[in-house]
Amino acid sequence: MNVYNFDDYRKFFAQRVKSARASGSSLTFAKIADQMGVQRSYFSQVLNGRGNLTADQLFLAGKACALAEEDIEFLVLLLEIERCSVKERKSKLVQQREQLRAKSLRTESFVSLDSVRPANDSYNIYYSDPYCPIVHMCLTVPKFREDIRHISSRLGISMARLEAALAVLSQCRIISRSIRGIELHDNRMYLPGDSPLAVAHGTMLRLFAINQRQKVADPDDYFFTTTFSATESVRKDLHLAFLNVFKSFAPLIEKAPSEEVFHVNFDLFRI
């Protein structure tokens, strides 16, 4: 359950216990009330909207549900918003709530990644040229690293174009080249979504994906596109679902030997 989808902490706890029952967990309203040190009847009244918890009680309730510290803090923020009677302060609290929601749906909130914020022109070129990160990933595969002509053939680019990408990787110190061949120093980088290069970088890779789809007819490739109408809540649920999928397959990628290079795009936007 994503605590950031809720505007009312009561509804979160009601849904949390309901989900626990469905999954066979032993979590109950009574256990949460006992953890808080309040009467079970009072907790029931709170859940029915006839009372409020204190910040301390809400903290203990979150602990009873095994929530992370930041999730508990979000629930306390919901409590503050509800109890606040100063219009200006309430507006700031609501703004804080929305900022935390947006942050919770960032990739780095789900998977630990080494963020790279470009500090020089070489990194700027790396993220502005789709072939730089693609060639970078190709070099994690031994057969491509041992003979870069395979990269040229696989991507359908000239050796001169490939050498240009390799020069950028060298300048970024991602690789080093010698008579013995290419040595790879970094095999993974992640550009944060708030980087000024993020939009251009994503656009370039999507254009590359379109180009590859037109050039290569691999029956194992999978493409899916759809347009739909729903609610804002459904959009958030889909966003969260993808992040959870990404979180689940990240360890699989980490453990897998580098034999081939694959590419995934995920776009979810309001029209």
- Closest Cα partner for 189 from 141, 239, 257, 118? 118
Position 187 scores a pLDDT of 65
- Say which residues have a Cβ less than 8 Å from residue 149's Cβ, sequence separation at least 6: 159
Q: How many domains does the chain have?
A: 1
Position 103 scores a pLDDT of 77
Question: Is residue 85 assigned to a domain?
Answer: yes
Question: Is residue 110 assigned to a domain?
Answer: no
CA gap 125, 195 in Å, rounded: 14
Question: Is residue 44 assigned to a domain?
Answer: yes
Q: Pick the range with the lowest mean pLDDT from 37-41, 146-150, 189-193.
A: 189-193
- Say which residues have a Cβ less than 8 Å from residue 65's Cβ, sequence separation at least 6: 13, 16, 27, 32
Q: Please indicate whether residue 193 or residue 71 has the higher confidence score (pLDDT).
A: 71
Domain coverage including residue 40: 3-104
Question: Is residue 60 assigned to a domain?
Answer: yes
Question: Is residue 121 assigned to a domain?
Answer: no
Question: Is residue 53 assigned to a domain?
Answer: yes
Question: Residue 225, class by beta-carbon neighbours within 10 Å (0-12 exposed, 13-18 middle, 19+ buried)?
Answer: exposed
Q: Does position 115 have pLDDT exceeding 50, yes or no? A: no
- Closest Cα partner for 209 from 263, 162, 140? 263
Question: Is residue 20 assigned to a domain?
Answer: yes
Position 136 scores a pLDDT of 92
- Say which residues have a Cβ less than 8 Å from residue 94's Cβ, sequence separation at least 6: 81
Please report which helix (H) or strand (E) contains residue 174, including its range: none
State mean pLDDT over 146-171: 92
Cα atoms found within 13 Å of the Cα of residue 145, Cβ hemisphere only: 21
Q: Does position 121 have pLDDT exceeding 80, yes or no? A: no
Position 117 scores a pLDDT of 47
Look up tokens 């680019």; give the residue: 157
Average confidence score pLDDT of the chain: 85
Q: Please indicate whether residue 215 or residue 138 has the higher confidence score (pLDDT).
A: 138
Encoded tokens for 264: 């995934």
Task: Tell me 120's DSSP state.
Answer: S
Position 161 scores a pLDDT of 94
Q: Please indicate whether residue 111 or residue 149 has the higher confidence score (pLDDT).
A: 149
CATH number where 30 lies: 1.10.260
